[in-house]
Structure 1
Amino acid sequence: MNYEYFIAKRIIGSKAYKSSISAPIIKIGIAAIAIGIIVMMIAMATGMGLQNKIRDKVVAFNGHVNIANYDSNNSQESIAPISKNQDFYPEFKTVEGISHIQAVATKFGVIRTETDFEGAILKGVDGDYNWNYFEEFLVTGRLPNFDKKWSEEVLISQYLANRLGFEVGERFQMVFAKEDPEKLPNIITFNIVGVYNSGFQDLDKQFLIGNIRHIQRINKWEDDQIGNFEVFVTDYDNLDKKGIEIYQNTPSTLNTITITDKYSMIFEWIKIFDKNTYGIIGIMILVAGINMITALLVLILERTQMIGILKALGSTNWSIRKLFLYNASYLIFLGLLWGNFLGLGLLFSQKYFKLFPLDPSVYYVTEAPVYISFGYIALLNIGTLVLCMLMLLVPSYIITKISPVRAIRFE
């Protein structure tokens, strides 16, 4: 054990240290570290949580990459069909990192009741559809079963169900216009087997999910014709790279678009969270560092005589600076300990008890989502410790200016 650490430990453990003039300043410094780490953890957890949640909601309705015909159709409705008989379907083996691919089609229609009507998009899916996301969104009822060739089962959003007064088990009619306005529209009766709520109202109010064969029949498509393919990747961070690889491994007649391009405004908006989070982290570390600098200066002034004695006994300036840096590191560790305890308590409380709701029309989620990972928590703690210690090197330089003779005589 080096003597600097030994003396620092004795100072920290002494009763005089805890009841000294500097005690309130030290407590403020510890509190600043604790509050700083709490705020940083909340900023990281909620920022990343909100990004992941919004991203997953968009992915649930579109997949990560969409493959469709080249056309000028800007609507959500499938116009020109493509064949399911592609080399990349039903498994995309030529590109690594593809977890699933599914065939879908969409058709705009009007849901009508005796007293009301509502426009919506029927998303037609088949037995290969990935229901993992909608299992989480399911509010009541069950997911549709499309193993049979024909099925009138649909999954409707809670938004549409509330507006039209629907419940699970009810039947309704949906009207689909034909290309020839002089011909009578197609009318299909659907059976509601489940109600979902993704919290993404912009999408919830548009889509209900049913059997793709209805759209094929309305559009007079063959059984192997669909509207588009939805591709899911295993690693979202490599989405842009995978999007290019998928494009290169599809026929020249087909176009690919990633969700970040299709919903560019949403993804540009959630990127702003990163800037806000980094700003908060920077401010909190600066505030915590300034408080620790103040605490260190008070400790140095309070123990000026001890510094003079140590210098007189032959201690070097760096040795004495290390003594006070050990002392300061203990305070930082104490602040980090309390901050992690309280911060994680708040995050887990929000994760499991949903204490803080949000307006889904603004944030696309019903409560503040949190993403808890040991990686960023450890990084925040290590970064705070290192940066605060680097900031304390400057004020500790004042020790080199203290004269042993004047310090020993100091009262």
Structure 2
Amino acid sequence: MNYEFFIAKRIIGSKSYKSSVSAPIIKIGIAAITIGIVVMLIAIATGLGLQKKVREKVVAFNGHITISNYDSNVSNESIVPISLDQDFYPNFNSVEGIKHIQGVATKFGIIRTETDFEGIVLKGVGTDYNWSYVQEFLESGSLPVYEGNLSNDVVISKYLANRLGFNIGDTFQTLFGKESVEQLPFQRTFKIVGIFNSGFNDIDKNFMIGDLSHIQRMNKWEKSQVGNFEVYLDDFTQLLEKEAEIRSNTPSLLNTQTIEERYRTTFEWIKIFDNNTYGIIAIMIIVAGINMITALLVLILERTQMIGILKALGSSNWSIRKVFLYNATYLICLGLFWGNLIGIGLLFIQQQFELLKFPDPEQYYVSVIPVHIGLDYIILLNIGTFIACLLMLLIPSVIISKISPVKAIRFE
């Protein structure tokens, strides 16, 4: 054991240390680090949680990457069909990290009731559709089963159900336009078997999910034709990389588009939370560092005589600085311990019991404040805070080299 660590340990364990003038200031320094870690953990966990939750909702109904025909159509309606007879369908074996691929189509329509009407987009899905992504958002009823025969069962959003007064088991008529405005529209009768609530307005206000066969018949497509393909990935962080790989492994006549490109405004909005989080982390580390600097300066002034004696005995300035840095390290670790204990505890309670909710769920796309507890960012945050505080303490410790042994020993 080196003697600097030995002296620092004796100082920390002494009763005079705990009842000294510096004790309240030391406690304030520890409290600053504790509060800082708690605030930073909450900021990161809620920021990542909100990003993850919104991203999951958008992806669940659209896929990570869309493969479609090149055309000038900017609406939500599928115009030019794509054949299912593709090398990448039903299994995209040429690209790793593809979880699932499915063929879908969309068509604009108007729901008509005796007292009201509402514009919607029918999303037609087939036997290859993976309902597990929608299952999480199903509030009542059940998911339809499409086995290749024409089915009138649909799933609509809670928003549309409340807006039009629909319940499970109700039937309604929907009108779909034809190629010529002079022709009478297609009329289809659908039955509600399930109601979902994604909390995402762009989806809830516009989409209902039904049988792909309806769109194929109205558009006079073959059974082997769809509007586009939705591709689901194993890892969202590889979105751009996989989009490039998929593009290079699909015919040149087909276009690929990521979910970030389709919902650019939404993803730009959730990225703002990163800037807010970085700002909070910087402020908290600075505040904690300043409090620790104050505590260290008080410790140095309180131990001036000890510093003089150690210098008189031949200790170097760096050795004495190490004594106080060891002491400060103990205080920082103590603050980190309590900060992690309280912060992770609060996050775990919110994750399990969902006590805190957003006052305006429509603004944030979720009703409950989501949290994401990840070991990676917790470790990085603690290491970063520890190093930052310790580096900030190197500056005030320089004052030790300015202390004269003779004056220090006589210091009272």
Do these two structures clear the TM 0.5 threshold for a shared fold by scoring above it? Answer: yes
Distance in structure 1 (CA, Å) of the matches to 2:332 and 2:199: 41
How far 1:282 sits from its partner (Å)? 1.1
SS at match of 1:154: strand
Supply the distance in 2 between the matched residues of 1:131 and 1:315 (Cα, whole angstroms). Answer: 72
CA contact under 8 A between 1:108 and 1:121: conserved in structure 2? yes
Which residue identity does 1:397 align to in structure 2? V
Distance 1:195 1:11 in 2: 66
Amino acid at match of 2:385: T
Q: Tell me by how many angstroms 1:181 deviates.
A: 2.5
Paired with 1:242 and 1:85, the residues of 2 have a C-alpha distance of 22
State which drifts further: 322-331 or 232-241: 232-241
Mapped contact 2:126–2:148 kept (Cα < 8 A): no
Aligned residues: 411
Shift of residue 148 of structure 1?
4.5
Determine whether 1:370 maps to 2:371.
yes
Q: 173-182 vs 153-162, which deviates more? A: 173-182
| 1:54-101 Cα deviation digits (max 9, x unpaired) | 111111121111111111100011111111111111111111211111
- Asked if the contact 2:155/2:208 (under 8 Å) is kept, the reply is yes
2:350, 2:174 → 1: CA distance? 40
Aligned residue for 1:177?
177
Correspondence 1:139 to 2:139:
yes
Does the CA-based 8 Å contact 2:61-2:134 persist in structure 1? no
Counterpart Cα distance in 1 of 2:115 and 2:14: 80
**Within 2, Cα distance between the matches of 1:387 and 1:43?**
19
Partner Cα distance (2:71, 2:98) in 1: 25
The aligned residue for residue 54 of structure 2 is 54
Q: Structure 1 unaligned segments of length 5 or more: list them.
A: none
Check whether the contact 2:33–2:339 (CA below 8 A) recurs between aligned residues. Answer: yes
SS in 2 for 1:139: strand
* Matched letter for residue 263 of structure 1: Y
Amino acid at match of 1:159: Y
**Aligned-residue RMSD, C-alpha:** 1.2
Quote the Cα distance in structure 2 between the aligned partners of 1:3 and 1:249.
Answer: 65
Opposite residue 284 of structure 2, the aligned amino acid is M
Identity rate, percent: 69
Deviation at 1:42, TM superposition (A): 1.0
Segment drifting more, 128-137 vs 390-399: 128-137
Work out whether 1:390 is the aligned partner of 2:387: no
Letter in 2 for 1:319: S
The DSSP-based 3-state class of the residue aligned with 1:140 is strand
Matched, 1:321 2:324: no
TM-superposed CA distance for 1:361, in Å, is: 2.3
Corresponding position of 2:274: 274
Tell whether 2:160 aligns with 1:160: yes
**Secondary structure of the equivalent of 2:292?**
helix
Q: TM-score, normalised to structure 2's length?
A: 0.97
1:81 and 1:136 map into 2 onto residues whose CA distance is 30
For the 8 Å contact 1:110–1:175, the answer to whether it is kept is yes
In structure 2, what is the equivalent of residue 401 of structure 1? 402
Q: Kindly provide the amino acid, as one letter, of the partner of residue 407 in structure 2.
A: R
Which whole-Å CA distance do the structure 2 matches of 1:174 and 1:30 have between them? 65
For the 8 Å contact 1:90–1:101, the answer to whether it is kept is yes
Which residue in the other structure is 1:67 paired with? 67
Equivalent residues of 2:155, 2:209 under 8 A apart: yes
Q: 1:22-101 residue pairs with structure 2 within 5 A? A: 22-101=22-101
Superposition pairs for residues 277-356 of structure 1, below 5 Å?
Answer: 277-356=277-356
Q: 1:355, CA displacement in angstroms?
A: 2.1
Unaligned runs of 5+ in 2: none
Counterpart-to-counterpart distance in 2, 1:346 and 1:128: 42
- Assess if the C-alpha contact under 8 Å between 1:200 and 1:360 holds in 2: no
Cα distance, 1:366 vs structure 2: 1.4
Cα shift at 1:390:
0.8
Indicate the SS of the match to 1:318: helix
- Which range is displaced more, 371-380 or 172-181? 172-181
Q: TM-score, normalised by structure 1?
A: 0.97
